A and B are shown apart, each in its own frame.
Chain A
């Protein structure tokens, strides 16, 4: 983990409000693992004040390229979208615990919306996982996933592309094929996947989101409910990836 000013290689729109940014850092990309995130300062002044956590979406470890995929939804991400190639960003990373990678296990990867971001690099490292991607309407990054897996199923709520519906419906049908499920997406989706996997005794890893302060384990603001009622987990260092059995997603 280090703090670095990283050069922006490219930054462009891939869908409505969704952007892909490539930054350069040999050292961070060398250390980084699927599921880890970067903590990025959106402005050089004090408003917005805090860094924003963004997952590592892809890595080019030879060239030191790190791809990020982000959805513009507020002050900070709006500023990210304005960044030009050649500019620098103040970054701390790589942070957090990533996805555990096992050899010789049959895995499914399931992502919803912008939650697909950390799953691309995971697909690349796992090589042979089945991939289920869900979108509202517009799809993005599907070709990239297809580069890393022969089995990519696409679902949209609107039915504009792929199969109309939700990816969990398909996962549910196939759940017995898998030893492990990896997931990232909206909380309701994660809740359903956790339930599905635990019911079928399939190991399950979820990438979680919570608002952060320090991003490194010092401030305790990123608490998420754990299955052990006596304590909270820290999303920034105990996660963001958790075994589904460690966390409690009930409201």
Chain B
């Protein structure tokens, strides 16, 4: 019997295959393709305290082996999420990770407090502008990562995941700040900041000028960052960024990830999470690996 379980902040996931925030809606849409109870956990679309309309289209552009997106956190707001979206997912036994974004530490804290009894994990999306700091992204300064994590930690007793932005010079420093502030787990990477230009109109393609890059194109960067974070912290890591198949997933685990998460791949292959899970299992059997943890570090990259 092989053991694929993963422990995050005292909670056991039955396997390491997760789906990423913003790429899986609130679940409903993908329930036509396979049984959710197969998944390690589901991370739902990023939510904010108040409803958000999101950015003016266009919101997506295909790049070489990737996509740029500019959704702008469109979501129905915290309370509508709890009331209208959660009940569907609760029908399954799969753990739910709520991904939250705020413009102030108070907003993050309030949301975490309200969600505490409703979900299994909270994931802090720190790739948001901190209004009180002149709009500098929380996730680009170790002090603000520390502060927001510490404050949220105070109001919630469910496992807390901090999702790092890759748009920084030293990702290890950010991970360490989150760990020191009491995070149970680090997830990375969020989208990389990119840009596209409409050469006929001499204008940026997106109204926001910049947009978030994801998909296979970002995988080597994500892998490197997971590896760097693994050298720095002792808490579990959820690796993501461009994972398309089980081989990618194994690579992330060898770089130091305890679990992996599938984002953009859901768009072009709605069965990707199931296929990745099956692939990891087969790989373990073929290589005589009984415990997922053996894939990681010591048993991992040599």
Contacts and interface: CB of A to CB of B under 8 A. Distances in A.
A46 B244 contact: yes
A210 B25 contact: no
Given A211-B59, A221-B69, A224-B57, A49 B215 contact: yes
Contacts of B71: 219-221
Interface in B126-171: none
A218 B57 contact: no
Nearest to B23: A219
Interface in B39-61: 45, 53-54, 56-61
Interface in B1-59: 22-25, 28-30, 32-33, 45, 53-54, 56-59
A214 B266 contact: yes
Interface string A33-74: 000000001000011111100000000000000000000000
A186 interface: no
Interface in A214-251: 214-225, 230-232, 237
A129 to B, nearest CB: 31
Interface in B58-76: 58-62, 64-67, 69, 71, 74
A170 B32 CA distance: 44
A133 interface: no
Contacts of A46: 65, 215-216, 244
Classify the secondary structure of A's interface with B.
loop
A213 B70 CA distance: 12
B53 A219 contact: no
Contacts of B244: 46
A3 interface: yes
A217 B268 contact: no
A6 to B, nearest CB: 16
A19 B72 CA distance: 37
Contacts of B33: 3
Given A47-B65, A49-B66, A216 B29 contact: yes
B22 A232 contact: no
A76 to B, nearest CB: 9
Contacts of A215: 267
Contacts of A218: 23-25, 29-30, 266
B32 A49 contact: no
A218 B57 CA distance: 16
Contacts of B82: none
B268 A50 contact: yes
B59 A230 contact: no
A211 B61 contact: yes
Given A3-B33, A218-B30, A232-B54, A223 B65 contact: no
Given A1-B32, A2-B32, A213 B25 contact: no
A140 to B, nearest CB: 27
A53 to B, nearest CB: 12
Contact of B216 (A2, A49, A92, A224): A49
B279 interface: no
A210 B59 CA distance: 9
A217 to B, nearest CB: 5
Given A46-B65, A50-B62, 20 more contacts: A46-B216, A48-B62, A49-B215, A49-B268, A50-B267, A51-B268, A210-B58, A213-B60, A213-B69, A214-B23, A214-B29, A214-B266, A216-B30, A217-B25, A217-B28, A219-B60, A220-B71, A221-B60, A224-B57, A231-B53
Interface of B: 22-25, 28-30, 32-33, 45, 53-54, 56-62, 64-67, 69, 71, 74, 215-216, 244, 264, 266-268, 270-271
Top 9 closest A-B pairs, CB basis? Answer: A218-B25, A221-B60, A218-B29, A221-B59, A46-B65, A46-B216, A216-B29, A213-B267, A214-B267
19 contacts: A3-B33, A3-B271, A47-B65, A50-B62, A210-B57, A211-B60, A213-B60, A213-B264, A214-B25, A214-B29, A218-B23, A218-B24, A219-B25, A220-B22, A220-B59, A222-B60, A223-B59, A225-B57, A232-B54
